[in-house]
Structure 1
């Protein structure tokens, strides 16, 4: 009898607890992208976009420096609001109130730039020239850094593991060299806080930074997508790991002779599959108010350079559309000189990729290119001089975003005319005039006649913006090229020290005209 009464009491207590739980609605956790955090930098002079997730149909308020904004979450719990633009300064405190409150401290207001691309953007300060000296002096409490971990996926991500940190000798070592040196130049010049967001992934292909539906709707990438779809159906990563384990066992049994077998990487989760990086490392930060983006990529797409003519501007425009900030500035690094120098004029996929990059400036506004055919290393695809690369990018930003009167644009080919056996080439963006580096004779020009066979040319600067090109074997010139090689030997620049943009005047099919995969 006592046992039955006890059971009834326990059951009644359990029902009471259940009724209380039902009567008190569960509170949803207030969630934001980790791009919002302590020590972050928010963009000055622009409305500050704040977004996140909470309970559906819930009022959300955000306050900072006396400014308040509110919104109501939608049926999924997503909310978006914009705070009034703020001048550079801080530190401030950002409070966001919904079902619960989040408070972020030490918030600065300044300039925010995304640093993206492949390994040459990811190449760290600790691996760059004078790494020891650079890290020793990296003491900039108002220069803030955050990195997005490498996640490749077909599913859009809203979260990542990362946090903002002040720039110190300890935090800067593993940060993007180009990103840091670019941000440092802005910070020192503008004297305002600067925030840098690094989401570069070594070896990444441009199509991995574009959503799947955009590639599908464009219509030019069917074969590329079909190849990946086939791989997704047939690739067995577990089987590849099993094969690697067998190779490892044999390697060990043979006394570890030769190179250690390389572990297989799951290509489906990697940095080449279309849309993987857009979803994994870009989506979590899309919408964070920025000034612009810097980009260093192209090596992985050089074999499909003609395709890059459309793919690269498509990627940039897709980012801009998703961000909803209009045509924010987008500046990139043209491919450096790499591989062996050619003994005679020849075709080059790297030259074709550089050409595709240059073409993008005519396709999209607020874009620019840092020419670095003098800063590469023949035997290393990762040249260590990231300081000068960053300075050339910074010139674009300082001139176009911040109003400084500094040279920024490399000379570009404008037109070619023929006078007898001479090709007369005129250039735009020559600054104080065309000049040469090291020796007075212009080097790097080739010339062709009707047979389309290029030979080394003799070149002469005959005016501020004009070069005369000839060759004894060419009676009637048809085309001129400059720095058209993987590793061009070329020395023409502006008097301001900005290297001439590689070019060709012909449109003859090259190595990659039919490459689509």
Structure 2
């Protein structure tokens, strides 16, 4: 036999052997430190070559063997009580050992940026919670942002379960952390959180194609984005527009060319600007482009040469900050808090110059009010609010909006929810809605369909689904007027018609100037209260603020009945406020309101025949103060005398 023929036979033999004895593989979810749902039969699954024998041992005991079917295998593990430090071995051509397995409660956390927002972003508010986050029995699995419009994905990219510690908690969703910690401290069982959430995502992105069939516009859009060339054309056009815009302003920026950030630069002819504030509000013409700001400060000898914290609030849209000509911080978009560290050796005793280059690509540009602006330490710092000098360097056209491909219908469901569908879970926590406020009126239909669709796909028809209502946001208003944020809150409230759902109202926990409020304890804690009642069947737990049920007219006033009154209705901090009524003409006026037992009477002398009532109906309802005695706020609502309420 020739050497060439022997070599060919050897290659073919090796290929056949590899095909017949390929290594078994597991999904990312089934890995070290994972939490499996207790007290229920669960599936372990993975991939191997067709007809390959796969054997599973649990804590040294044989669970069983199975042959893979069309490369996929699955085997059942009987219900296990809560516990930790279990070992699972899976053997085929190879052996995989899964260490430190826990059985407890598995929760899927999803939604948009307020569910994404990690503890690192709120570290100044919760330093003690972070320092004391020694909870090895709380584990989290954070899914990276991925999308697919063509089909449901079988697995996630590289990611792993992590035990909760003061170090790992920094990447843990803040809302999910407070939720998981509350449940752990209540039930003392391991808690696993699968965090599959994406900032800015609308509800349509989290729906399967089947769930969108009754919604022609998003369904058609989902079909359109199954075309790779369509996606590439959009991405290429977006990139070209963005690159051209930024290249143009950078090339025309005299501040960069002339080094306006240098301390020796002469800014005596610059104009004054009061920080914080937006330049449009300070009689500077509305504009997009580049504006530079400078301020000279006195630094004491005690701070000279030392590291320092620079807190520059929030800036719209992007910034680069220099101290004494040295760059100390850069952020490329408006939402993150500007928390920069000034390195050793930058600050000098006496005069120091801070220069800020701000790029605004659309809307109002400037510095957000009611945020921290200082240099030094929290308890010993130099205040940076007040008069600065500014100069416009570049005027530019508005940068067109980017098409965020990951926000398109079905993409996130296919890539971030589908890989978990065989993983038994206790329930879902959801924090989303801000991205649907542009068109809130069909949100209930979309959201309800999504919940039912997830229950079908998880094959858990009674799956608890707990969600957060939109927080108060934007400027307060003294007059009843239309509000898309109020409309979407109402759509969220109406979704409670689905069984095994609960809503955490946080109308008292937002910030007027930040779509990402720092108070993440309130939504996490209130979701945990809802879980106790809905998922753990502790019916004594008061888990919601008052919810409107019925409305009746008597002698020119409306009488409202509520559920979830707990120990009773209360008006927090003064007289009951936040109610508006209207007659058939639909013109709402602020009304008087009074608690009478378990009812609320609402009236106004100018409205003799009221038929409609609203509560906390505004983007940011400043005076909404209806609570139950347990301290949970009432949900905003609108109601009519007709059955349409």
- Structure 2-normalised TM-score? 0.73
Looking at secondary structure, tell me which structure has more helix per residue.
Answer: 1
Q: 1:414 aligns with which of 549, 556, 564?
A: 549
Distance 1:123 1:507 in 2: 41
Task: Report the more deviating stretch, 319-328 or 9-18.
Answer: 9-18
SS at match of 1:236: helix
Does 1:114 find its partner at 2:248?
no
* Equivalent residues, number: 494
Distance 1:415 1:86 in 2: 45
- Can you list the C-alpha shifts for 1:228-268, whole angstroms capped at 9, x where unaligned? 65676484322332333322322222125345487999746
Decide whether aligned partners of structure 1 residues 254 and 290 sit closer, same or farther in structure 2, where only a CA change above 3 A counts. same
Q: Match for residue 269 of structure 1?
A: 405
CA shift, 1:25, in A, is 5.3
Q: Match for residue 343 of structure 2?
A: none
Distance 2:593 2:416 in 1: 47
8 Å contact kept, 1:267–1:273: no
Distance 2:189 2:566 in 1: 29
CA shift, 1:125, in A, is 0.9
Distance 1:391 1:248 in 2: 43
Decide whether aligned partners of structure 1 residues 54 and 316 sit closer, same or farther in structure 2, where only a CA change above 3 A counts. same
Looking at secondary structure, tell me which structure has more strand per residue.
Answer: 2
Q: Match for residue 14 of structure 1?
A: 7
Distance 2:401 2:48 in 1: 37
Distance 1:103 1:46 in 2: 22
8 Å contact kept, 2:471–2:506: yes
- Can you list the C-alpha shifts for 1:3-33, whole angstroms capped at 9, x where unaligned? xxxxx84314313413533663522332221
Distance 1:472 1:199 in 2: 51
Q: Match for residue 178 of structure 1?
A: 175
- Can you list the C-alpha shifts for 1:156-191, whole angstroms capped at 9, x where unaligned? 222322101111111110210000110011111111
Does 1:345 find its partner at 2:480?
yes
Does 1:82 find its partner at 2:76?
yes
CA RMSD of aligned residues (A): 2.3
1:366-515 paired onto structure 2 within 5 Å: 366-404=500-538, 405-439=540-574, 441-463=575-597, 465-488=598-621, 489-506=623-640
1:211-226 paired onto structure 2 within 5 Å: 211-216=208-213, 219=214, 221-226=215-220
- Structure 1-normalised TM-score? 0.90
Distance 1:448 1:23 in 2: 79
Q: 2:135 aligns with which of 126, 140, 143?
A: 140
Decide whether aligned partners of structure 1 residues 226 and 394 sit closer, same or farther in structure 2, where only a CA change above 3 A counts. same
Distance 1:192 1:118 in 2: 28
Distance 2:418 2:427 in 1: 16
Decide whether aligned partners of structure 1 residues 505 and 265 sit closer, same or farther in structure 2, where only a CA change above 3 A counts. closer
Distance 2:611 2:401 in 1: 48
Q: List runs of 5+ in structure 1 lacking aligned partners.
A: 1-7, 509-517
Q: List runs of 5+ in structure 2 lacking aligned partners.
A: 257-289, 292-357, 362-398
Does 1:365 find its partner at 2:499?
yes
SS at match of 2:144: coil
CA shift, 1:507, in A, is 9.1
Decide whether aligned partners of structure 1 residues 58 and 387 sit closer, same or farther in structure 2, where only a CA change above 3 A counts. same
Distance 2:557 2:508 in 1: 27
SS at match of 2:437: helix
Distance 1:226 1:400 in 2: 36
Q: Match for residue 35 of structure 2?
A: 41
Task: Report the more deviating stretch, 320-329 or 332-341.
Answer: 320-329
Task: Report the more deviating stretch, 401-410 or 366-375.
Answer: 401-410
Q: Match for residue 3 of structure 1?
A: none
Q: Match for residue 45 of structure 2?
A: 51
8 Å contact kept, 1:62–1:83: no
1:223-238 paired onto structure 2 within 5 Å: 223-227=217-221, 233=230, 235-238=233-236
Decide whether aligned partners of structure 1 residues 422 and 203 sit closer, same or farther in structure 2, where only a CA change above 3 A counts. same
Q: Which runs of 4+ in 1 moved over 6 A?
A: 261-266
8 Å contact kept, 2:221–2:409: no
Distance 1:82 1:261 in 2: 56
